[in-house]
């Protein structure tokens, strides 16, 4: 009885196993057939990957060609008695290992580490810094054959609405490509120097630029560097659609002077002022279409004052100008505002040069010859 029970139980179990195995085999066969069928359906539906559009291919080409030139920079800096870690971007400018970046990326650095996209990691030394333009040159000891220098474009060739690309390391996400347009030209931003001098001819872009992008290139679709990504206008600390890039013409000049001379010399005109506004048009009885720079102060020791430019006079209640010189042109080039004057001086003049200012004064135009000095430290 007991044996019969055991035998019957064994047979019953064996039968159950046969059923289970048969079920699993059947499921496997069904699943395999279904997978093959699904794969055929997917293959029929998807086919080969679609070809890139012309603009997509252009973006991909620029990234492929330029990303080997772009580096991720990690620094340890001593600032106000504390040791701080920071990061940014930069790009190779020659085969001697010189890399251009923002001064605020490496300022005060005691250690600089440079990462290339091929995995190479090396130390870098600071060659020179220019706080006035927020630019710096560092150098790595890497074989020339391993370096891919960028090609500089000309900011004057840019037009508002033109597509631009940025490569950098936003929030540590290295070699990130973003795109946008040139939102405006000839903006001005503040440098890092204690003199609080402005940087002119700055490019405004809506290409996504965030912390870590600083020092990376802004590129046209030919893969040429047209700017060095530097600052953003933001209330949150991240991109809000307004980024600023230092123009390539200025960047190339600054880099060359740092490498050659160890420092950069800027011309100095010695004024403070602002754009002509409606309030000045009304208080000074100016023509409605007059543009230029209202000279609030011609610094006493400056070259403009020596040439005869006058500081503005204000009303007794300090609410309006009662007289003021208006600079309307430099060397015959009309000026719409102070940003254009800053740009012109930085791009086209050097200390010791002579420029002619066209000045609107008391309803008349006068010409003043100014001998530019070297910008004070």
**Distance set, CA 124 to CA 115, 175, 215, 220 (Å):** 10, 19, 15, 28
Answer yes or no: is pLDDT of 3 > 70: no
Between 26-30, 96-100, 180-184, the lowest mean confidence (pLDDT) is in: 26-30
Overall average pLDDT of the 347-372 stretch? 96
Q: Coil, helix or strand for 141?
A: coil
Structural tokens at position 356: 């002619």
Q: How far apart are CA 74 and CA 69, in angstroms?
A: 16
> What is the rounded CA–CA span in Å between residue 247 and residue 228?
7
| Tokens read off for 4 | 């019969």
pLDDT band at 122 (very low <50, low <70, confident <90, very high): very high
pLDDT at 26: 37
Characterize 210-223 residue by residue with b for buried, 16 or more Cβ atoms within 10 angstroms of its Cβ, and e for exposed: bbbbbbbbbbbeeb
Q: What totals of helices (H) and strands (E) does the chain contain, helices first? A: 7, 22
Q: Are strands 333-334 and 109-115 parallel, antiparallel or unpaired?
A: unpaired
In contact, 269 and 345? CB cutoff 8 Å:
yes
pLDDT in tens, 43-94: 555 567 789 999 999 999 999 999 999 999 999 988 777 888 999 999 999 9
Task: State how far the Cα of 256 lies from the Cα of 310, in Å rounded to an integer.
Answer: 36
The answer, yes or no, to whether residue 30 has pLDDT greater than 90, is no
Inform me whether the pLDDT recorded for 29 exceeds 50: no
Give residue 39's pLDDT. Answer: 52
Q: Is residue 230's pLDDT more than 50?
A: yes
Is residue 366 classed as helix, strand or coil in its secondary structure? strand
- Rounded distance, CA 254 to CA 345, Å? 14
Average pLDDT, the chain: 87
- Count of beta carbons in the 10 Å neighbourhood of residue 6: 10
What is the distance between the alpha carbons of residues 72 and 105, in angstroms, rounded to a whole number?
A: 11
Query: What's residue 46's pLDDT?
Result: 57
Residues 297-331: tens digit of each pLDDT: 999 999 999 999 999 999 999 999 999 999 999 99
Residue 360 binned pLDDT confidence (cut-offs 50, 70, 90) = very high
pTM above 0.75, yes or no: yes
For residue range 185-209, what is the model confidence (pLDDT) as tens digits? 989 888 877 666 889 889 999 998 8
Model pLDDT, residue 347: 86
Is residue 88 within 8 A of residue 215, CB to CB? The reply is yes
Measured between alpha carbons, how far is 122 from 92 in angstroms, rounded to an integer?
14
Active-site residue numbers? 104, 134, 214
Confidence of residue 377 (pLDDT cuts 50, 70, 90): confident
């Amino acid at each position: 009885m007991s044996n019969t029970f055991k035998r019957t139980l064994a047979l019953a179990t064996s039968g159950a196993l046969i059923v289970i195995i048969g079920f699993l085999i059947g499921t496997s066969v069904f699943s395999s057939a279904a997978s093959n069928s699904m794969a055929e359906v997917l293959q029929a539906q998807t086919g080969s990957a679609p070809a890139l559009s012309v603009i997509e291919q252009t973006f991909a080409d620029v990234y492929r060609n330029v990303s080997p030139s772009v580096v991720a920079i990690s620094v340890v800096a001593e600032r106000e008695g504390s040791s701080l870690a920071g990061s940014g971007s930069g790009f190779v400018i020659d085969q001697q290992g010189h890399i251009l970046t923002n001064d605020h990326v490496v300022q005060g650095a005691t250690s600089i580490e440079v990462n290339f996209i091929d995995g190479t990691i090396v130390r870098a030394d600071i060659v020179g810094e220019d706080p006035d333009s927020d630019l710096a040159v560092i150098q790595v000891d890497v074989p020339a054959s391993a370096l891919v220098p960028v090609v500089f474009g000309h900011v004057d060739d840019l037009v508002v609405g033109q597509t631009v690309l940025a490569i950098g390391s936003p929030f540590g996400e290295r070699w990130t490509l973003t795109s946008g347009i040139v939102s405006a030209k000839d903006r001005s931003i503040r440098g890092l120097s204690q003199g609080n001098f402005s940087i002119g001819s700055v490019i405004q872009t809506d290409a996504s630029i965030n912390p870590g992008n600083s020092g990376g290139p802004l590129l046209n679709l030919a893969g040429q560097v047209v700017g060095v990504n530097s600052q953003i206008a933001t209330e949150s600390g991240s991109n809000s659609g307004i980024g600023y890039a230092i123009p390539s013409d200025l960047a190339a000049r600054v880099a060359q002077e740092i490498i050659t001379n160890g420092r950069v010399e800027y011309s100095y005109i010695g004024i403070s002022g602002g754009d002509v506004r409606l309030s000045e048009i009304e208080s000074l009885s100016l023509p409605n279409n007059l543009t230029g720079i209202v000279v609030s102060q011609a610094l006493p020791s400056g070259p403009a004052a020596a040439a005869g430019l006058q500081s503005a006079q204000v009303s007794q209640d300090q609410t309006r100008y009662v007289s003021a010189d208006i600079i309307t042109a430099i060397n015959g080039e009309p000026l719409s505002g102070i940003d254009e004057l800053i740009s012109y001086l930085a791009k086209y003049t050097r200390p010791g040069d002579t420029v002619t200012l066209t000045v609107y004064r008391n309803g008349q135009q006068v010409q003043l010859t100014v001998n530019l000095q070297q910008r004070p430290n």
